[in-house]
Amino acid sequence: MPANPQSSSLGLNTYKGTWQYLQTKHLLNRTLFGAKAADITYFKNLGLTAAVDELLNISTSLPTPPLNDYSSTTVLDPNVPLGKTWVNDFTTDGTLNSYRNSAYKKWLLSVWLGQEKNIREKLSLFWSNHFGTEADTIFYSNLTYNHHQILRTNCVGNFKQMVRAVTTDPGMLRYLNGYLNTKTAPDENYGRELQELFTVGKDGGAKYSEDDVKNAAKALTGWKLDASNNAIFDSTRHDTTNKTFSAFYNNTTITGKSGATGAQETDELLNMIFQKTEVAKFICRKLYRYFVYYYIDANVENNIITPLANAFIANNYEIKPVLKLLLQSEHFYDSLYVGCQIKSPIDHVVGFLRQYEIVFPDAVTDYVDSYFLYNSMVSQLIGMGQNPVDPPNVAGWPAYYQTPDYNELWINADTLPKRNKFTDLMIETGYTKNGKKIIVDTILFVKKVCTNPSDPNLLMDSLFAFLISTDIDPALKNTLKVQLLLTGQASDYYWTDAWNLYQTSPTTINFNIVNARLKALLKYIMNLPDYQLQ
């Protein structure tokens, strides 16, 4: 077994090797929440360049917004009727906001599950982790919704513009107290995290000072929220003194401005920060860790991070060209990196639901049952350690930043059993609401994954190729075939006969014979530690 993580010496040159099922699945594993069988075929046929282009091409239409699923005789919403969206309504009612936050999470599951064939949702999760806001703290659900819409619409766009939009986004002003930041007592919360977490980072080259934090806070004074939670600039609260920064920022002075022009200091501050190459490097390292692997040594720093950061700067902080370079690089497809990512809980749960093409009731026309069932998925995610839009703090989930373990932090004695329980449950009993059931349809599933499920060897190969991203010992595959599919029988034709009999004569008995074996096999494959990797 390898004693340490390894790095590839390959760089950003375009990958010229073979473009097959394996490479396609690798790309989709990293850019979508799980791939359907048909998705893999579709992108394989496109070829590398067209596949990457399509994944990075985000449609402008956004998902239908979340609805009121909570009104009842005891919960009254005076402004938004049941089944209508609340995103344009502002309320100070804590109970309503709590119901709406909960509806938001259920809705988010529906968006993830129904994601289009592009990177938008996977990348939006990256940005929501990057800016690390907590819905619970933002409190006002319409602000949470708007905050995430900024990230969603800008996800492959311009990073600098995204930071600018987030800086005075009412959700963020609330979350990091920017709305309370005044000249009499500057609140440093946003001024600090803007630098430490959102832009220049804390890696070796980032040497901004404590005074820089204080001066950034001063430059940002004056932003507040009006009675309806709109961001406005109040020049009477703005610190009009000059703000001189440290040598790290070339001793830049932001000249204090009075009146409405004080708001310009926000842009000047961002302009100053974005002069630092550390910004591009910090973001590229984070993108690399999210899309490739957490291990960055001198090799990766020199061959990937530095040229990627240069491209980021040359493209004026446009995100799409950077991702294009990375996702079609020979580095990305090096076999060292295939299947080396431990799935996040969202990858695990949503990826599973998409792999098995589990159909939920329609989130608009049957929102009651649908939201109820999505809520079960939210509970699963919380149990596994990833409460959607409520990371533990502003740094996001530790698995995305905490050295030296990174995504190994998702897995421990508590969460690994929960992951197995979830896949077992979805195969055995599923969830039911008002007669609507979400559960794995084993027959439908193997037909989608395998061209000829009557052949037990082909079936085993197809299932492992689709569900597993590690190299599986052929002996284990054979053992599982014999013990689970053939239930101990010596000859392959016992399975073939059983399958064919069910196809020609789909009685309950014949169904049960096939279904019981498939259920046992699928459960076992997903209980293998290998299933946790993508």
Partner 1 sequence: MERRNFIRNSLALLTPTVISGNPIHILQDHPLLNSSLLATSNNDRVLVIIQLSGGNDGLNTVIPLSEYSNYNNARNNIAIPENKVLKLTGNNATGIHPSMTAMQNLFSDGKLNIVQSVGYPQPSFSHFRATDIWMSGSDSNEYLNTGWAGRYLNNQNPGYPDNYPTADNPDPLAIQIGSLSTLTCQGPVVNMALSISDPSSFYNLIDGTNASVSNTNSGYELSFLRSIAKQTNLYTARIKKANDSVTQQVTYPNNSLASQLKIVARLIKGGLQTKVYMVNYGGFDTHSGQVVASDTTTGTHANLLKVLSDAIAAFQSDIVGLEIEDRVIGMTYSEFGRRIKSNASGGTDHGSAAPLFLFGKNVRGGVFGNNPSIPESATVNDNIPYQYDFRTVYSTILQNWFCVTESAQTEILTKQYPILPLINASVCGINDKNSTFSKEALIYNYPNPFTNFTKIDFKTNGGHTLLQLLDGAGTVLQLLVEANYSYAGMNSYNLYGSSLNAGVYYIRLQNEAKVYVKAIIKM
Which residues, 398 to 457, sit near partner 1 by CB under 8 A? Answer: 398, 401-405, 408-409, 411-418, 420-421
Stretch that binds partner 1, among 151-159, 298-306, 467-475, 497-505 (CB under 8 A): 467-475
User: Quick one: which of 51, 254, 342, 389 contacts partner 1 (CB under 8 A)?
Assistant: 342
Structure tokens at 434: 């008002």
CB nearer to partner 1: pick between 313 and 382: 382
CB 26 within 8 A of CB 469: yes
For residue 57, state whether it binds partner 1 (rule: CB under 8 A). Answer: no
Quick note: the x/- pattern for partner 1 over 480-519, rule CB under 8 A, is: ---xx--x----------------------------xx-x
Residues whose CB falls within 8 Å of the CB of residue 243, separated by 6 or more in sequence, listed in order: 215, 216, 218, 219, 253, 254, 256, 265
- Total count of residues recorded for the chain: 534
**Nearest to 308, CA basis, from 294, 321, 296:** 321
Find the shortest distance in angstroms from Cβ 26 to partner 1. 11
Integer Cα distance of 312 and 301 in angstroms: 15
192 part of the interface to partner 1, by CB under 8 A: yes
Cα(147)–Cα(130) distance, integer angstroms: 13
- Binding marks (x or -) toward partner 1, 358..397, rule CB under 8 A? -------------------------xxx------xxxx--
Binding letters toward partner 1, positions 193-212, x by CB under 8 A: ---x-----x-------x--
* Least distance between partner 1 and beta carbon 353 (Å): 20
DSSP letter string, 141-208? HHHHHHHHHHHHHHTTSBHHHHHHHHHT-HHHHHHTTGGG--SSS---HHHHHIIIIISS-SSTT---
469 binds partner 1 (CB under 8 A): yes
240, 273 contact by CB (below 8 A): no
Q: Binding to partner 1 by residue 187, rule CB under 8 A? A: yes
Q: Among 153, 158, 189, 246, indicate the residue that binds partner 1 (CB under 8 A).
A: 189
Per-residue contact track with partner 1, 129 to 168, x per CB under 8 A?
A: ----------------------------------------
Distances (CA, A) of 180 to 57, 94, 171, 172, 335: 39, 20, 13, 12, 50
| 217-276: contacts with partner 1 (CB under 8 A) | none
Binding of residue 12 to partner 1 (CB under 8 A): no
User: Cα-flanking dihedrals φ and ψ of residue 158, to 5°?
Assistant: -100, 125
Q: Is 321 in the site for partner 1 (CB under 8 A)?
A: no
Cα–Cα distance, 415 to 434 (Å, whole number): 30
Could you say which of 1, 298, 490, 509 contacts partner 1 (CB under 8 A)?
A: 1
